[in-house]
Amino acid sequence: MRIDIVLAGVGGQGVLSVAAVLAEAARREGFCVQQTELHGMSQRGGAVQAFLRIADAPVHSDFVSHGTADLVLALEPLEALRQVAYLKPGGLLLTAADPVENIPDHPGREQVLAWIATLPRTAVVEAAELAREAGAPRALNTVMVGAASGVLPLRVEILRACLCEAFAAKGERVVQQNLAAFEAGRRAAACAPA
Kindly state whether residue 132 participates in binding other proteins, applying the rule CB under 8 A. no
At its nearest, how many Å lie between other proteins and the CB of residue 45? 4
Kindly state whether residue 60 participates in binding other proteins, applying the rule CB under 8 A. yes
Whether the Cβ atoms of residue 81 and residue 9 lie closer than 8 Å to each other:
no
Kindly state whether residue 176 participates in binding other proteins, applying the rule CB under 8 A. no
Residue ranges in 24-43 that form contacts with other proteins under rule CB under 8 A = 24, 27, 32-43
CA distance 188 to 177: 17
At its nearest, how many Å lie between other proteins and the CB of residue 168? 12
The DSSP-derived string for 45-104 is SSEEEEEEEEESS--S-SSPPTT-EEEEEESSHHHHHTTGGGEEEEEEEEEES-----ST
Kindly state whether residue 63 participates in binding other proteins, applying the rule CB under 8 A. yes
N residues, the chain: 194
Rule CB under 8 A: choose which of 2, 65, 137, 172 binds other proteins: 65
Q: Near other proteins by CB under 8 A, which window of 56-64, 143-151, 154-162, 177-185?
A: 56-64
CA distance 131 to 49: 22
